[in-house]
Structure formats: C-alpha cells, structure tokens
A and B are shown apart, each in its own frame.
Chain A
C-alpha cells in the first residue's frame, strides 16, 4: 500500500442529485466533505435515506458526483470506473456469484488481476483461514448460512488487499447474536490487515463500538464527525444528541456566559439552568439545553446548591440494570432519568414510586448548552 496522500479517501464538496420518479430533483448527498485517514475504521451513521449508500457508491465508482469529487489516495476519481479503483465493496446483499463455488468467488478478483495461479491459491487459502471458512471452498453460496455468506463476501473483497474497503450495512441481514459476534470479528480483522474501512450503518451501537471515527449524517449532510466519545459526550447539535442515545432537551435564552459555562433561562421550567457552553452561544441568543438521562442525579434532598429542580415521579420502569424514572416537572415538562440499580433490594421504594417527590440535580459539567440549529 502506497501512502502518497494524507487521506485514504476524501470527499470534497460532493453533491449527488437524483431525479425522483415524481420528476423533482433530490440532493441525496448535499455538499459533503469527509476526510478518511489511512487505516481508520470510519463509519457513516444516519437514518434511512440520509445518503450513506449513495456516498459509499460514489467512492466505489458506481455513481458519479453531480458536483465536487472523490479523492482516493489523493487522486481525483472523476468518472473512473469501479474496476480501476483501488477500493473494494462488501455489498449488503452480499452479491455472491451463485454459479461459482466459494473458492471461485474469492479467487475471482485475483483472476481479474491475472495473478499467477499459485499466488491465487495461497492468498485465497489465507483468506479462508481468516474468515474461518476452511473446508467450505467447494460449496456453492446457496449451501451456506447467512453468516457464512457474509464472510465469503468479506473474503472476496479483502483478498484483493484494497487500499480501502467499503462496507454497506454488511451485518444488516444477520440476527442480533451473530451480528455482535461479527462486529468483534470484523473489527479484529480490520486491525489485523490494517486496511481503511468505510462502514455504513444505521445502528448507533454498532457504530460506537466498532469505529475509530463516526460521521453522523442527516438528509444528505454531514452533521458531525468525531471519535465515538465526542459524538456521544459532545454532540454539536440537537439532532446528533437526539439521534445518538437519548437526551432531555429544553429551549431558552442565554442570560450570562462565564468562561466555559453559560446560564440559560428556561421558560418551561421557570428557572435558570447552568451548563457547559459547548455551543459557544452568546448572551441574548436562543440555546438548547441537552442532558443525557443517565447523567441526571435523582435524590430526595438537593445535592447541589443551584441547578436542581423539584418534581414528582410520574412512572418508573424497572429494566434490571437500571430504573427508568419519568419525572413531571410541572408546566408540561417531563424529564427522563436513568438511575443505575447499585443496591440489590426487593423493596419497591428503592426504585422510586409514582407520586414520590424528588429532586433532580443537573450538574453543570454534564449539561450541554447547544446553539439552536
């Protein structure tokens, strides 16, 4: 692998416009910039229809950008056809050749390179080892389970040792248990071969556990790019905070800003809330306050001098490791609080009961003040 460029893949101001069947134009990918580093496990995460597949297909060469360009190893790809790009794809539907054996499927890409026969044999053998399909090479794809077919698809793309491997929801068709196993296996394989992986998924947990970096996408745009901790702990917008995990939101007007803190007057709570000014908002601006349910401290007596609020327990849900407590704050506001069950008890009152008066403590370092988008 030659590393001539800083980035393995780069999208520069890429737009992809489709004509919808209704005749209108749709920007499936809308001025996207993305920089994917060498050897990185990079995920594109977003809900259905946000343009993940389209972005990936432009990297592979199945689609060409309407505007902007895709750079692979620093080279503008323009209209380069897929068979001339140093990338390979693992398709969501696997797209295995049904008329070829597993061995022939995996060897296909090497034969296209006109690799010598003995080299094909050793390389296919190595890949069969890696994906644990030894002894299956004479079978046909239809004679394998879904998980095994998935491995064949992976081996078939990896055997070419591409600079970049593109994966479009490769685990989408597997059941949950197999999916978890394959997540770990995929990650291990990626670290072993050191190839850049561009991974498309709409499963946030999958993205958080596997990725080095994540791009959160919505409606053809990249909302935020960052390492998993950043995405979860420092979302830059209400959309990201809401899409990844869960969050409580309030809207308000910034009253004062002091170093990295800001204080916001929240009309629905009829109170001021102080939090981290991650959105760099200024006094007088509208702001959104975001706090994760597991980061709210619930107590009978206030644990803080300020930033605590009284409410009444509306409902509770015991889910084993946690208790989900929904607290009515008055004024039509309900906050969700995830409380870890640290003490083993059979007493229902240990898990809060309906009608109980409680105090919610919003630690400013856990409370994010976001700019309104």
Chain B
C-alpha cells in the first residue's frame, strides 16, 4: 500500500481529491439521485412516497392535468407551466435591471479616488450584514398600505389638499421585482467593479490618444473589458433569483408564486414530496440550460482572451 502510494502518481492524485470527492458524493450526488427517484413516484394519502416510475408529476408541470373535470385522461391546465414561465421572466428582468443599476454604480466606484473607493465598497456591503429575511421585511414596512411610502405620499397630498387613496404596492409582481433587485444588487456590483478596476489607466489614455471620445472609449474599450464582470454577476444573480422563495413569499403573497414557492409548498403544506422533487429538478434543468447557453455565448467570466 505505502509502496504503491510512493510510486503511483495517479493513485496519489486519486487519494488527494478523495475528500472533495466524498463531499461531492455525500452532499450533491446522493441527494440529487434521491430527488430524481422520488420525483418519479406518487404520493400516498398521508404525504408519504410510493416509489414507482411515473411521469405524472412532469406531465402536470408542463401544463396538463391528470385530474380533469370532464373525466378525460388529461386536459390542458397551465397553472404550473405559468409558474415556471413567471419565474424565468422575473429572473430575466431582475438580472437586466440589476445590470442597469449596478454598472454605473460600479463604474463610479472604480473611477473614484482610491481613498474613497473602500468607503463606497463598504456601503455596498453593509446591507449584507443584515439577515436576508429582515431586509425583505424592511421592504414590507416600506410598501405596505399603511407603510412609509404611502405615508409620505399621503402627507404630501394632504398638504396640498389632494384626495389620496393609499397605493396597493405590496403583494404585486412589482414589489417582488423591487425586492429581488434590492437583494441581489451587491452581487452584480462587486464583480463588475473588480473587472473595471483591473483596466489600466493607460488603456483609456491610449484610446483617447487614438481619437476616441469618452463615449466611444467606453463602447470600444471599457465595456468589452468589463464584460467578464457582467457575466460573472449575471450568473451570481440569475441562478439564485430563479430559486428563492422568501422574497416572493413575503412581498408577493398569494399573488406572485414562483417555482421556489411551489417547491416549498409541496414539501410543507401540500405534503407532496414527489411533485416538489419534480419541480426542483425542472428548476435545476431550466437554470442549467439558460446558464449553458449564456456562458457559451459570453464565456464564464474569465478573461475574454483566447490562447
């Protein structure tokens, strides 16, 4: 054994990666396999799993019901397909808005005086010290019918003698979008900042020297060189937004149900782990597909330089 260890390089390698490998097997592959097995089963009356091989859960997820009012074998029921679609579109718009907000901010921080730069970065990070759920609650306080925003508008309206009906902001898709953007903004700012900061000042000077005005310098030099940051940020934002349920649960209520909420419900209140497992797998596959095509187009956020 010891002799083999000394002489065999590939055996050494296997031994060295084995802790990581064990970790991956225990925490990733086994749960994944279990989820897959469960997703093909059916639920029994008290929320247990009857193992089997049925596509029943997947059929339901893609817009067909097996429990039709007319009694036929299957009929169209877009409830769950809509949830999947809504999750995708919300994740898409969240990412787009986050990029639009984060880029100028990151640019501003990267070009700020080095002395102030750390303060600005700190300010970006400070909200992350508070618990995720508490930050969502804070938005509830702001958006409620008797919340801060309605309060301020109402006060201003009263000063001008205008009739004001409190706005219904909480429990709307807009509230969920605002919450998501707020929660995930730092995860976009930081990678974009890092890639902007890496651009050497002489590159801007070279562009100006060759006749590029500031706008064209931005388009031809700054933007392409900071794309790795945008790509990395997109991956960091898109994937978790696809999966979270807290923001939509607290700010969307019953109105905005995402895959995350669906999965949570199936495991907790609806007591159908088989359907929940199927939804989890579909969420994972959808995210993988989007990320795959995205990274195929833009790379993984590494230097865009071919070797």
Contact = CB atoms under 8 A, between A and B. Distances in A.
A95 B303 contact: no
B225 A88 contact: no
A372 B182 CA distance: 71
Given A83-B213, A160-B211, A89 B225 contact: no
Given A108-B220, A142-B305, A62 B203 contact: no
Contacts, number: 67
A299 interface: no
A338 to B, nearest CB: 41
A140 B303 CA distance: 12
A93 B200 contact: yes
A310 B209 CA distance: 60
Contacts of A364: none
Given A93-B202, A143-B307, A99 B225 contact: yes
B212 interface: yes
B212 A83 contact: yes
B82 to A, nearest CB: 41
B208 interface: yes
Nearest to B208: A82
B290 interface: no
B203 A83 contact: no
Interface in A234-289: none
B206 A98 contact: no
B31 interface: no
A91 B210 contact: no
Interface in A53-106: 60-62, 81-83, 87-89, 91, 93, 95-99
B307 A98 contact: no
Q: Which among A61, A91, A157 has the highest number of chain B CB atoms within 10 Å?
A: A91
Nearest to B206: A95
A25 interface: no
Contacts of A81: 208, 213
Interface in B282-307: 303-307
B254 interface: no
Max chain A C-beta neighbours (<10 A), residue from B203, B225, B303, B307: B203
B219 to A, nearest CB: 11
A291 to B, nearest CB: 44
B111 interface: no
A160 to B, nearest CB: 7
B205 interface: yes
Of B202, B206, B221, B307, most buried by chain A (CB within 10 Å of CB) is: B206
B117 interface: no
Contacts of A99: 224-225, 304-305
A142 B208 CA distance: 22
Interface in A91-138: 91, 93, 95-99, 108-109, 112-113
A156 interface: yes
Most chain B CB neighbours (cut-off 10 Å) among A83, A88, A113: A83
B216 A112 contact: yes
Contacts of A61: 208
B210 A108 contact: yes
Contacts of B206: 89, 91, 95-97, 156
B210 A112 contact: yes
Contacts of A93: 200, 202
Interface string B250-281: 00000000000000000000000000000000
B303 A88 contact: no
B203 A97 contact: yes
Contacts of A112: 210-212, 216
Contact of A109 (B202, B210, B221): B210
Contacts of B205: 60, 62, 82, 89, 91, 95
A60 B202 CA distance: 12
A95 B200 contact: yes
B221 A98 contact: no
A124 to B, nearest CB: 13
A22 to B, nearest CB: 15
Given A60-B209, A88-B209, A112-B216, A95 B203 contact: yes
Contact of B202 (A87, A91, A157, A160): A91
Contacts of A142: 305, 307
A131 to B, nearest CB: 16
A82 B221 contact: no
Nearest to A93: B202
A143 B205 CA distance: 23
Nearest to B204: A95
Contacts of A157: 209-210
A127 to B, nearest CB: 13
Contacts of B220: 108
A143 B206 CA distance: 20
A187 to B, nearest CB: 23
Nearest to B217: A83
For A60, A95, A156, the residue with the greatest tally of chain B CB atoms inside 10 Å of its CB is: A95
A160 B210 contact: yes
Contacts of B207: 97, 108
A49 to B, nearest CB: 19
B303 A98 contact: yes
Contacts of B224: 99
A205 B283 CA distance: 69
B211 A98 contact: no
Interface string B146-164: 0000000000000000000
Contacts of B211: 83, 109, 112-113, 160
17 contacts: A61-B208, A89-B205, A91-B206, A95-B200, A95-B203, A95-B205, A95-B206, A96-B206, A97-B207, A98-B303, A98-B305, A99-B304, A108-B220, A140-B306, A143-B307, A156-B206, A157-B210
Which 7 A-B pairs have CB atoms at the shortest separation, nearest pair first?
A112-B211, A109-B210, A95-B202, A95-B206, A82-B208, A89-B209, A99-B224
Given A83-B212, A87-B209, A142-B307, 13 more contacts: A60-B209, A62-B208, A81-B213, A82-B208, A83-B210, A96-B206, A97-B207, A99-B304, A108-B210, A108-B212, A109-B210, A140-B305, A142-B305
